[in-house]
Every structure is written in C-alpha cells, then in structure tokens.
Amino acid sequence: MAKITFPVEASHIMMFARAIGDTNPVYHDAGAAKQSEVGGIIPPPTFMQAVAQFDPDYFLRPKPGQKWFGSGKGPTGLDEKPKSSGGLHAEQHYEYHLPVHAGDVLTAETKPGKTWERESKRAGKLSFRERVTEYRNQKGELVVTARSVSVTTERPVDQG
Amino acid sequence: MALKASALKVGDTHKERVAENLSRTQIVQYAGASGDYNPLHTDEVYTTQIAGYPSVFAHGMLTMGLTSKMLTNYVGPGRLTKFGVRFTNQVWPGDTLDATATVEAIRDEGGQKLVDLKLSTTNQDGKEVVTGSATARIDP
C-alpha cells in the first residue's frame, strides 16, 4: 500500500478533540500546552485514525464525479443496492512509542495482516481482516503502531 | 497531573460519564474530524432503508475516543504506551456512556513505573460497548 503523508496540524487536533468532547487544553491551547508536561499541543490517543483525511483514495469519502452509496434522491446513489452493508470495526489497538506534537509530519504505511472467518448467531458469517499501520515522524522514527480488525457481516447485526 | 505508583493499588477504579444522550450531530462532528464519512453513521435514510439498521450508529472510533477522554483525564495526556479495545456492541444516538478504568497491575520496566488498566465502557442499560486495556507511564 502507498505511504501516506500525514501533517499533524493544531486546528485538526482541535476539531478532533471537540468531536470526542474532550476539552483538555493540551488539545487546543498552545500556551497552556507549552506550560504542561507534554510541552506543546499533542493529539488525543485515537487521532491517528484521522489519517483517512490524507488518503487520496479513501473509500468512505464522497469524491467529485463518482457515485456515492449514501442517499441522495433515492436511499442510495448507486444503481444497484450494495451487496453488503459494509465493514464494521471490531478491534483497534495502538502502541505509542514516541511523543507526537502538532507540527510533526508523519508517514503512514499500512500492511495487511491476518484474515479469518467465524459464524455468529447475530450476523451470520463474519469475515475478519487485520491491518497494521506504522506511523513515522519527519526524523524517520517509529512513533505509533496501529492494528485494526474490521469485520464484514453476512447480514446486519441483530439487536435482539 | 500524573498518577503516582505509591498512591495506586490493584483494583482502584476511575469512572467518568463520557457521553450523555449522544446526538446525531456529535456523530456527524466525528465524521468530519476523522474523515470517515460512512453513511452508516450519518445518513438515516441509507442506514434504515438500505443497510437494514434501526438508525444511524456511532463510529466505533468515536466510542474509543470517548473512552480515551476518561483515560487521559486519569493518567494524564501523553502518558499512554498502549491502548487497545474491542467493540462489543453498537452505540446509538441517545445513548449515555460511562467509561471505567480498573488498575490490574503496577510494575517497573527498566526503571519506569507503569500501570496496566482494564477498560470497560457501558451504556445506560449496563450493556458493555467497549472492552479493552491500556498501559501508562506513571510517577514513582
């Protein structure tokens, strides 16, 4: 998979922290962050997920001139109903090796991991897929390793 | 404010309410910030009529982010060395979530004190939506 350049920006961190309802000044107040132990604005622990913004081919973002599977005039913008309701997130794991600060420019490289299947009562056949992403800073140092497991279900998850 | 190993013991817990009556708007806000625009989270028409769910639901990563807020409030920002979760149930608009960390171990690794935590986030019905673990650097 291609490497993605991920500039870690203070305004993006502020918006991300707002979205999770986290008002800690280390995420939006440069002065307060500088005075604190972390020495400057840092991203919240799950911020690396926002690398999606910098992936030009990210499939869960509508793109100009392409049909989008969400609703428009009809309940889906595709000509045919999609076969699957798509993937769900099953697990997410992070290892934090070195600090990351606003202003760092990271490079993310994703490698496919294991795949496996399992039967479930609530959603039929489950197909799991693991991906490991390594984030390196502008000095080439490994700062964060992320491992995600996504699952595609045979049918929507039963809520009973 | 960092935790001190000398003031911690196995079994200690820290609990916070991390979402109250979760709004569709907050889910939209998370979609915009994270870049994950999957209509399952923001498009009620698609999600009910095409995907077959009763309503839109939160990104797993929003629930993990809400859980992380409790965690960084407890151990201090920039202190985590590991953080991992499993998404065990979906989170829906209107949900109220409580996140809890429980001290499982306090240990020493190359002169650095660490705390291992067990994590659980539950909804208003007591159903677990996230289960996980984390490790953080703490002061002596």
pLDDT digits (tens, 9 = 90+) for B15-56: 999 999 999 999 999 999 999 999 999 999 999 999 999 999
Residue A99 inside a domain? The answer is yes
CA distance A45 to A23: 14
Q: Looking at the structure, give the CATH architecture of the domain made up of residues B5-22+58-138.
A: Roll (3.10)
* Tally of residues, chain B: 140
Residue A107 inside a domain? The answer is yes
pLDDT tier, A156 (very low <50, low <70, confident <90, very high otherwise): confident
B129 closest CA partner among B109, B101, B99: B99
Residue A78 inside a domain? The answer is no
Inter-chain CB proximity B18 and A21 less than 8 Å: yes
Residues of A in contact with B18 (CB under 8 A): 21
Inter-chain CB proximity B53 and A50 less than 8 Å: no
pLDDT at position A155, please?
82
Overall domain count for chain A:
1
Question: How far, CA to CA in Å, does B13 sit from each of A19, B74, B80?
Answer: 26, 10, 17
Closest-CA distance, A115 to chain B, in angstroms, reads 16
pLDDT tens profile B77-133: 999 999 999 999 999 999 999 999 999 999 999 999 999 999 999 999 999 999 999
Inter-chain CB proximity B68 and A44 less than 8 Å: yes
Inter-chain CB proximity A85 and B54 less than 8 Å: no
CA distance B47 to A130: 25
Residue A10 inside a domain? The answer is yes
Residues of A in contact with B34 (CB under 8 A): 16, 19, 49-50, 52-53
* Owning domain of residue A95: 4-60+83-153
Residues of A in contact with B90 (CB under 8 A): 157, 159
| A106 bridge partner residues | A6
Residue A67 inside a domain? The answer is no
Kindly provide the ipTM of the predicted complex, given to two decimals: 0.97
Inter-chain CB proximity B46 and A159 less than 8 Å: no
A97 closest CA partner among A136, A128, A138, A39: A136
Residue A56 inside a domain? The answer is yes
Inter-chain CB proximity A94 and B38 less than 8 Å: no
pLDDT at position A83, please?
63
SS3 content of chain B, % helix, strand, coil (to 5): 30, 35, 35
CA distance A152 to A116: 11
CATH number, domain containing residue A132: 3.10.129.10
pLDDT tens profile A84-104: 656 789 999 999 999 999 999
- Would you say A147 and A112 are in contact if contact means Cβ atoms under 8 Å apart? no
pLDDT at position A154, please?
83
Residue A145 inside a domain? The answer is yes
| Helix or strand run (H / E) with residue A56 | none
CA distance B110 to B98: 34
Residue A18 inside a domain? The answer is yes
Which of B3, B42, B64, B67 to mutate against chain A (most A CBs within 10 Å)?
B64
3 state SS of A138:
coil
Question: How far, CA to CA in Å, does B134 sit from each of A95, B98, B116?
Answer: 9, 17, 6
